[in-house]
Amino acid sequence: MVRNLLVRGMLAGLIAAALALVFAWIFGEPQVGAAIALEGHAGHAAHATEAAAEAVAAEPEPVSRGVQSTVGLATAVGVYGVAVGGVFALVFAFVYGRLGAFGARATSVLIALGAFVTVELVPFLKYPANPPAVGDPGTIGRRTVVYFALVLISVLLAVAALYVGRRLAPRYGNWNATLLALAGFLAAVVVVCLLMPVVDEVPAGFPAALLWKFRLASLGTQAVLWSGIGLAFGTLAERAFSPYRAPVSSSAV
Q: For the chain, which ranges sit under pLDDT 70?
A: 39-70, 243-253
Report the phi/psi class of residue 25: left, alpha or beta, with left for phi > 0 and alpha for psi in -120 to 50.
Answer: alpha
Cα–Cα dist 33/28, whole Å:
9
Does residue 58 lie in a domain region?
A: no
Range of the domain at 13: 1-44+65-133+205-241
| pTM over the 0.85 mark | no
3-state SS assignment for residue 188? helix
**Residues 170-227: tens digit of each pLDDT:** 899 988 999 999 999 999 999 999 999 998 888 888 888 999 999 999 999 999 999 9
Which residue from 225, 234, 220, 217 is spatially nearest to 81, judged by alpha carbons?
225
Q: Is residue 16 part of a domain?
A: yes
For residues 115 and 228, membership in a common domain is answered with yes
Same domain, yes or no, for 104 and 37? yes
CB within 8 A of 147, min separation 6: which ones?
Answer: 123, 127
Domain-located, residue 14: yes
Percent residues over pLDDT 90 in the chain:
52
127 in the same domain as 223: yes
Is residue 173 domain-resident?
yes
31 and 97 belong to one structural domain: yes
